[in-house]
């Protein structure tokens, strides 16, 4: 027959079998000890000192007070947050709580919002399409939903919101409702749109600039240079028929014409390097580096690890950035050597230009150095990126990446 422990006024009832295992466990025993019946039934029970066996009423009160303070602190935190709208929905989407951030973002007070369906924040077209209900369904199925889209303020204006809806369950895993966190992202979206528009305009400007450069190069080559070549030939013919000292004077004029033709051909090459169209990016960059580094007294090397030729648009952008970077090295770096490395990385073209100069380009970039600004804009307009790192006394490295554009041509490895 079961033994029972009944500590008088507390009505704690514990039944033991003949082997001393717990056979019954009253609700009061569960309340006092904090251990449910399923944890103790069938286990052996020794009867310790009652003072040690049961938490004192003082300990229980302290624990309950700590829990209340924690819950109150959390409620105060949620209610005080201004940058996020945090509120609760019941199982069907009616608003059951409302914080200060929700009022600031959406315009409704707690009295106006609580009890109403959260679909009032959605544009009419989203409500008609069933978006609010669908979002709750997804939150239930997946545990949470995150979305960005237009929402409506009390005054009827729209704002771009980032929304997270989390399904909330009780201990029995029954749906209790939903937690909803909203953030006004309108300023960020406007800034992103402005940046995209700026990049689009820069892209159009760069494209127009390249078209105009090509037109000028063709005009200079086909008209000015050809005309001057004809003048030079006539001067040479005339010099061959004149006696001295007139022949030497005409020959001097021919030398001046030939020098002018050379300068014009250099201009044509800078406007639209023929190597770029004929042989590709590496040949064009190598020819330019060979020319300017020799003129500036720089030791140099170009390392080619491209496995795919960039499109014409990407190639001319890369070439122009290399031109500007080398010009900056000549003007500011006080370098003795420059190295270029071209490779294919992440389905794009990666170029690194390093020098051994003073290492001040990073400071120039921070102060709005025009050449670096132009390089950044060119890279970003092509949906790429550019970074500049400098170590004082150890040189500067300009690195940029441009994506492959649709007319990518594979090369033999």
Express each pLDDT in 217-236 by its tens digit: 788 877 888 888 999 899 99
Look at the alpha carbons of 231, 232, 236, 239 in this order and tell me if their dihedral is positive or negative. positive
Q: What is the mean pLDDT of residues 235-244?
A: 89
Q: What is the mean pLDDT of residues 2-18?
A: 47
Look at 223 and 175; give whichever has higher pLDDT.
Answer: 175
Mean pLDDT is highest, among 149-163, 169-183, 214-228, 291-305, for 149-163
DSSP of 249-268: HHHHHHHHHHHHHHHHHHHH
Look at 53 and 277; give whichever has higher pLDDT.
Answer: 277
Tokens 């580094």, located at residue: 293
Q: How confident is the model at residue 22 (pLDDT cuts 50, 70, 90)?
A: low
Is there a contact between 10 and 41 (Cβ–Cβ < 8 Å)? no
Give the pLDDT of residue 358: 82
Q: How far is residue 393's CA from residue 390's CA, in Å, rounded to a whole number? A: 9
CA–CA distances in Å: residue 44 to residues 12, 35, 275:
17, 14, 91
Give the pLDDT of residue 32: 53
DSSP 8-state symbol, 94: B
Q: How far is residue 289's CA from residue 300's CA, in Å, rounded to a whole number? A: 8
Q: How, if at all, do strands 337-345 and 299-305 pair? A: parallel
Which is nearest to 284 in space by CA: 314, 310, 263, 315? Answer: 315
Give the pLDDT of residue 371: 77
DSSP of 41-92: TTSB-----HHHHS--HHHHHHHHHHHHHHHHHHHHHHHH-SSSEEEEE-TT
Q: How confident is the model at residue 111 (pLDDT cuts 50, 70, 90)?
A: very high
Kindly report the average pLDDT of the chain as a whole number: 81
Which is nearest to 23 in space by CA: 9, 37, 6? Answer: 37
Give the pLDDT of residue 349: 94
Q: pLDDT digits over 116-137, tens only? A: 999 999 999 999 999 999 999 9
Q: How confident is the model at residue 252 (pLDDT cuts 50, 70, 90)?
A: very high
Q: How confident is the model at residue 62 (pLDDT cuts 50, 70, 90)?
A: low
Which is nearest to 118 in space by CA: 161, 81, 83, 75? Answer: 161
Q: How confident is the model at residue 5 (pLDDT cuts 50, 70, 90)?
A: very low
Give the pLDDT of residue 157: 96
| Res 344 pLDDT > 90 | yes
Give the pLDDT of residue 28: 62
Q: Which distant-in-sequence residues (6+ apart) come within 8 Å of 56 by Cβ? A: none
Is there a contact between 304 and 402 (Cβ–Cβ < 8 Å)? no
Q: How far is residue 58's CA from residue 60's CA, in Å, rounded to a whole number? A: 5
Q: How confident is the model at residue 332 (pLDDT cuts 50, 70, 90)?
A: confident
Q: What is the mean pLDDT of residues 177-203?
A: 89
Q: What is the mean pLDDT of residues 301-326?
A: 91
Q: pLDDT digits over 368-413, tens only? A: 456 788 899 889 888 899 999 988 888 899 999 999 864 434 443 3
Cα dihedral value 49, 54, 59, 64, nearest 10: 180
Look at 70 and 237; give whichever has higher pLDDT.
Answer: 237
Q: How far is residue 256's CA from residue 48's CA, in Å, rounded to a whole number? A: 115
Q: pLDDT digits over 378-390, tens only? A: 898 888 999 999 8
Task: Tell whether pTM > 0.75.
Answer: no
The kind and range of the H/E element at 210 are helix 186-219
Give the pLDDT of residue 4: 43
Q: Find the angle CA(207)-CA(209)-CA(215) to the nearest 5 degrees.
A: 105
Q: What is the mean pLDDT of residues 306-327?
A: 90
Q: How far is residue 320's CA from residue 329's CA, in Å, rounded to a whole number? A: 14
Q: How far is residue 376's CA from residue 65's CA, in Å, rounded to a whole number? A: 59
Mean pLDDT is highest, among 75-84, 197-206, 297-306, for 297-306
């Amino acid at each position: 027959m079961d033994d029972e422990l009944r500590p008088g006024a507390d009505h704690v009832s514990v039944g033991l079998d003949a082997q001393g295992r717990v056979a019954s466990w009253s609700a009061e025993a569960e309340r006092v000890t904090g251990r449910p019946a399923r944890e103790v039934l069938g286990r052996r029970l020794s009867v310790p000192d009652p003072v040690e066996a049961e938490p004192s009423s003082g300990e229980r009160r302290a624990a309950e007070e700590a829990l209340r303070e924690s819950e109150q602190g959390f409620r105060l935190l949620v209610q005080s947050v201004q940058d996020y709208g945090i509120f609760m929905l019941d199982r069907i989407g009616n608003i059951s709580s409302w914080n200060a951030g929700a009022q600031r973002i959406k315009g409704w007070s707690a009295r106006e919002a609580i009890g109403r369906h959260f679909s009032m924040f959605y544009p009419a077209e989203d409500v008609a399409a069933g978006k609010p209900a669908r979002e709750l369904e997804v939150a239930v199925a997946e545990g949470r939903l995150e979305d960005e889209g237009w929402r409506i303020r009390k005054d009827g204006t729209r704002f771009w919101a980032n929304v997270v809806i989390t399904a909330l369950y009780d201990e029995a895993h029954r749906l209790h409702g939903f937690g909803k966190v909203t953030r006004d992202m309108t300023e960020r979206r406007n800034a992103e749109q402005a940046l995209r528009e700026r990049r689009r305009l820069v892209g159009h400007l760069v494209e127009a600039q390249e078209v105009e450069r090509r037109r000028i190069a063709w005009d200079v080559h086909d008209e000015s240079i050809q005309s001057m070549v004809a003048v030079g030939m006539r001067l040479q013919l005339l010099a061959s028929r004149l006696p001295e000292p007139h022949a030497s004077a005409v020959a001097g004029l021919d030398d001046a014409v030939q020098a002018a033709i050379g300068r014009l051909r250099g201009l044509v090459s800078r406007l639209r390097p023929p190597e770029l169209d004929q042989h590709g990016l590496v040949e064009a960059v190598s020819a330019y580096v060979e020319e300017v580094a020799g003129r500036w007294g720089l030791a140099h090397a170009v390392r080619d690890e491209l496995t795919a030729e960039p499109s014409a648009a990407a190639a001319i952008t890369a070439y122009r950035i290399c031109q500007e970077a080398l010009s900056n090295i000549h003007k500011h770096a006080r370098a003795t050597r420059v190295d270029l490395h071209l490779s294919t990385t992440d389905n794009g073209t990666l170029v690194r230009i390093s020098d051994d100069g003073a290492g001040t380009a990073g400071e120039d970039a921070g102060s709005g150095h025009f050449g670096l600004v132009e390089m950044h804009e060119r890279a970003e307009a092509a949906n790429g990126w550019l970074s500049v790192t400098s170590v004082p006394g150890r040189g500067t490295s300009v690195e940029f990446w441009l994506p492959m554009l649709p007319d990518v041509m594979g090369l033999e490895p």
